[in-house]
Amino acid sequence: MELRKFRQRGPFEWEMPSTGRMRVPGVIFASRELMEAMDEKVAEQVANVASLPGIVTASYAMPDAHWGYGFPIGGVAAFDADEGGVVSAGGVGFDISCGVRTLHTGLKQADIEAHKKRLADVLYARIPAGVGSTGALRLSGPETDAMLKGGARWAVKEGYGSEADLAHIEESGCVAGADPRAVSDMAKKRQRDEMGTLGSGNHYLEVQLVDEVFDAAAAQAYGLAKGDVVVSIHCGSRGLGHQIGTDYLREMVIAAPAAGIALPDRELACAPLKSALGQRYLGAMRAGINCALANRQILTQLAREAFAEVFPHVRLPLLYDVSHNTCKEETHRVGDERRRLFVHRKGATRAFGPGHAELPREYREAGQPVLIGGSMGTASWILAGAAGTEERAFGSACHGAGRAMSRNEALRRWHGRNVVDELAARGILIRSPSFRGVAEEAPLAYKDVGAVVDAAHRAGLAVKVARLLPLVCIKG
DNA sequence: ATGTGC
């Protein structure tokens, strides 16, 4: 993109001064190279978000930002309800609470090498993956409502995983204020048989190797060492979250004019936090968060059962679970005061720094684990929320690599079967129901996740802790 | 992301 409209605050921080309808400045965290490669539309979308009522401090974009629906993916924006602030369905995204969790296995690379192929096959047999995939569960109406209110806590109660898992999930696995009545029957119906499924697109379950450690103290706090094998799960709220997004986007577009909100882009549809519609969306969106947390919890149990088949004595304790499509009510310092704000993170991860009261005690000194999913066949990263990140972007960091080319262009360029073969030759086993999906997700269709993580580190958003390389990938 | 597309 054109860099002339930015004022550089530092080598990794670019300010777009407030002009026209913008109420606050825009700020993008990135290296010069990432800025130059970034789509012009990101700046446009950051500026559009800056024009929304009640926005506080600035409209932010992370180093992996790219063009999204209304808000950029990689966008962070906080709103104050007392100043006419809004909540936006497009500011959360369609896959509500899509996120990543990472599990320890206690295994080393040498333990796994001879069993890798069998492990891949067993995982693929047990983890439902792909468009429209269904799970073993069939939820009744009352069970659906209990799941939407209870999140991962509900899943544990149903026998998926243990109480110990909950302490290593944001909000202890269950976000308050979920309102199942605000979720349409259609959304619930779509989710009836999709609990414990991976879905499609960039979602996956991956067995990974800790290939390098960058921060010894944080790695120790997280229980990570070079040569460890871990499992990461990337997925969200499936059909339910998508339907909530669709339902409320439509309502917000219709209601905006009466609420006195002039939208620079229809896709930015939003509702005042203090309106009935805004409150209903918050209730539904929180139910969507709980659905995603329950989904990842069930998948965790399926992964544990698969591992037990190959390695009978292995346990898979949860390192941490982060969501990267949310709007959360949080307390942040703005100037000299502490204020309750509604922080939208769309394709951005919460990244609370050291000492934050909401972190589990064992991670409090190191900062929040920030789990960055790589693209298929490339590295993933574990970072730690940095000191001072709450002053910079309301305690947020990047979430992944970000696409470098469209799905269509990737389909023209690669064949799924060849991608699988090439990765297998490098020792990375892919199992997927869709060769088309594999081609769309080819490693080179994404930006270099290393450059993104480096920019986040050097911008002071999060600290590099460990790099993970893929061994086995169950791809949706 | 998505019972993949107004």
Distance A82 CA to B1 C1' (A): 32
HEC-encoded secondary structure of chain A: CCCCCCEEEECCEEEECCCCCCCCCEEEECCHHHHHHCCHHHHHHHHHHHCCCCECCCEEEEEEEECCCCCCEEEEEEECHHHCCEEEHHHHCCCCCCEEEEEEEEEEHHHHHHHHHHHHHHHHHHCCCCCCCCCCCCCCHHHHHHHHHHHHHHHHHCCCCCHHHHCCEHHHHCCCCCCHHHCCHHHHHHHCCCCCCCCCCCCEEEEEEEEEECCHHHHHHHCCCCCEEEEEEEECCHHHHHHHHHHHHHHHHHHCHHHCCCCCCHHHCEEECCCHHHHHHHHHHHHHHHHHHHHHHHHHHHHHHHHHHHCCCCCCCEEEEEECEEEEEEEEEECCEEEEEEEEEECCEECCCCCCCCCCHHHHCCCCEEEEECCCCCCEEEEEECCCHHHHHCCEECCECCECCCHHHHHHHCCHHHHHHHHHHCCCEEECCCHHHHHHCCHHHECCHHHHHHHHHHCCCEEEEEEEEEEEEEEC
Tens-digit pLDDT profile for residues A173-207: 999 999 999 999 999 999 999 999 999 999 999 99
Of the pLDDT bands very low, low, confident and very high (cuts 50, 70, 90), residue A402 is confident
Q: Which nucleotide is nearest to A69 (CA to C1')?
A: B1
Which residue among A66, A234, A344, A399 is the active-site one? Answer: A399
Q: Which residue is nearest to nucleotide B1 (CA to C1')?
A: A95
Distance A416 CA to B3 C1' (A): 24
Distance A433 CA to B5 C1' (A): 21
**Average pLDDT in chain A:** 96
pLDDT attached to residue A404: 85
Q: Which nucleotide is nearest to A240 (CA to C1')?
A: B2
Of the pLDDT bands very low, low, confident and very high (cuts 50, 70, 90), residue A329 is very high
Average pLDDT of span A80-95? 97
Tens-digit pLDDT profile for residues A128-163: 999 989 999 999 999 999 999 999 999 999 999 999
pLDDT attached to residue A117: 97
Average pLDDT of span A343-353? 98
pLDDT attached to residue A340: 98
pLDDT attached to residue A85: 98
Of the pLDDT bands very low, low, confident and very high (cuts 50, 70, 90), residue A403 is confident
For nucleic chain B, give residues with Cβ below 7 angstroms from it. Answer: A 94-95, 98, 131-132, 186, 190, 194, 199-203, 235-236, 238-239, 242-243, 434, 436-437, 476
Of the pLDDT bands very low, low, confident and very high (cuts 50, 70, 90), residue A306 is very high
Q: Which residue is nearest to nucleotide B4 (CA to C1')?
A: A131
pLDDT attached to residue A262: 87
Of the pLDDT bands very low, low, confident and very high (cuts 50, 70, 90), residue A409 is very high
Say if residue A53's pLDDT is above 90.
Answer: yes
Which positions on strand B lie below 7 Å from a protein C-beta?
Answer: 1-4
Average pLDDT of span A430-457? 95
- A344 counts as catalytic: no
pTM above 0.95, yes or no: yes
Of the pLDDT bands very low, low, confident and very high (cuts 50, 70, 90), residue A264 is confident
Distance A407 CA to B5 C1' (A): 14
Say if residue A71's pLDDT is above 90.
Answer: yes
